A and B are shown apart, each in its own frame.
Chain A
Amino acid sequence: MPSFAYQAPATLDALAGCLRGADAGTFLLGGGTDLIIRLRDRGITRGTLLDLTRVEGLDRVDVADDAITIGANVTYAQVADHPFLQDRLPCLAQMASQVGSAQIRNMARLPGNIANASPGGDAVPALIALDAVVLVLDGSGMTTVRRVDEVVTGIGRTTLRPGEAIIGVRIPRPGPHQRSAFGKIGMGARTRVVIANVSLTLVLEVDPAQGRIRDARVVLGSAAPVAFHARTAEALLEGRRPDPALAGDLAGTLRAEVKASIREIAIFQHKLNDIQGLALDLFAQLFPGAQ
């Protein structure tokens, strides 16, 4: 029976060395929650398993003045429970707390979602909304910085090449007036442990003087092959004060955005209903006084 080679580099240098020798038969192993299933589904019984989880230094959340860097080995559970992220990047912590079950959250990590580029994934839309970049190490030992929305290009497609590994995710430090929220409604009529039928990430600021919204970022997930900015929704929110009318407008605008994306595909039509509900829910969460 054919078999796998297994590599578990302990340092970034060693990882770069492994990446140098990587080819199409090299599978990057993070939390493993996707890889195991994929190998079995496709009957893949040979290749190289390159385990990233032993690389030292990638299991930290670094909060710096300009950015927050989340190492590739930080689990969703750790993101969800992180006090700074809960407080200042709530959409990220909320997203992380809603990924799968506790067991999944204890193993899975952000890079997996990005590299797998599944349209139903939750991390990619939240990261796009936060203008996140990924730190990509290659076999030469060089780390490049790339925007998440440039890395993910289609269903299961990224610009990542064999021999490249995401070693971290970096998010610009939020300003003092930034608020954010993430929500998803699942396929299958259950509320917990669900794959998103549609997800919504809202990131915005409310200017303290006038109480108006600015720098709104609205990203839809699971509504297209790749998560995308709902530009008309962002334009709608800009300069407005949060009030019930705005909530309704947001819901309607997002419905139209999803409609434009899914067109007449029958099995997706319920996303139109879900996004309306989700928009109202998240709006209420961000602006509890504005009912």
Chain B
Amino acid sequence: MLLQFTVNGKAREADIEPDARLIDVLRDHLDLTGTKEGCGEGECGACTVIMDGVAVNACLVPGMQARGREVLTVEGLERDGELDPLQKAFIREGAIQCGYCSPGMLMSSKALLMRNLHPSEAEIRLAIAGNLCRCTGYTKIVKAVQAVAQDGGVGRA
């Protein structure tokens, strides 16, 4: 089946099986491997992408449901060679260790800041409650999101 949708601002299409998951479409058909599979059941959040403005688990979205929609993946955060303030903050604050959860964490955080420019710490933790990390204890990840939130979402260089 032909799937046509927008990914990271570009019109994309793929010929997929009807039961292909969005994560399969992104990783296998479009070679956007930044989105990771950690559990296949929507528990770990490593597959988080933003679809039509909200965070979703790509491992649970049937690919055809993305038809005509706008999907933002971690590869789409960088614009014209400039990292997103969240990416810069994650790097600066030491919020990245093995990096496997990082794309999903970035996307959940991005989705949060898209709706709420000044989240409290509790709101940040809730926004990433569906993103598991075994390396960082979440401490520096939360700090990175707070740093961006305090800057009004603009972030520092």
Contacts and interface: CB of A to CB of B under 8 A. Distances in A.
Q: Do A and B touch each other in the complex, judged by CB within 8 A?
A: yes
Interface of A: 3-6, 8, 29, 31-33, 35-37, 39-40, 45, 49, 51, 53, 77, 100-104, 106-107, 192-193
Contact of A3 (B18, B55, B129): B18
A102 B130 contact: yes
A95 B50 CA distance: 23
Interface residues of B, number: 31
Interface in B42-61: 42-43, 45, 48, 51, 54-57, 59-61
Contacts of A193: 43, 129-130
B130 A6 contact: no
Contacts of B56: 103, 106-107
A102 B57 CA distance: 9
A220 B131 CA distance: 29
Given A102-B108, A102-B130, A104-B42, A36 B59 contact: yes
Chain A to chain B: the 3 pairs with minimum beta-carbon distance, closest first = A101-B130, A6-B18, A4-B18
Given A37-B60, A102-B112, A103-B45, 7 more contacts: A3-B18, A4-B18, A6-B1, A8-B67, A36-B59, A100-B42, A101-B129
Contacts of A35: 62
Given A4-B19, A39-B19, A101-B129, A106 B55 contact: yes
Contact of B62 (A32, A45, A77, A192): A32
Interface in B12-59: 17-19, 21, 40-43, 45, 48, 51, 54-57, 59
Given A102-B108, A106-B54, A8 B64 contact: yes
B126 interface: yes
Nearest to B130: A101
B111 interface: yes
A103 B55 contact: yes
A37 B21 CA distance: 11
11 contacts: A31-B60, A32-B61, A36-B21, A37-B40, A39-B19, A51-B62, A51-B64, A101-B45, A102-B127, A106-B51, A193-B129
B139 interface: no
A100 B59 CA distance: 15
B5 to A, nearest CB: 13
Nearest to B47: A103
A104 B40 contact: no
B120 interface: no
B129 A36 contact: no
Interface string B123-150: 0001101110000000000000000000
B62 A49 contact: yes
Contacts of B62: 29, 32, 35-36, 49, 51
Nearest to A6: B18
B97 interface: no
A32 B19 CA distance: 11
B150 to A, nearest CB: 21
A102 B129 contact: yes
Nearest to B104: A103
A96 to B, nearest CB: 14
A72 to B, nearest CB: 14
Nearest to B125: A192
A6 B62 CA distance: 11
Given A4-B17, A77-B54, A103 B64 contact: no
A103 B48 contact: yes
A6 B112 CA distance: 33
Given A51-B65, A101-B129, A193-B130, A32 B60 contact: yes
A31 B112 CA distance: 20
Interface in B77-132: 108, 111-112, 126-127, 129-131
Contacts of A103: 42, 45, 48, 55-57, 108, 130
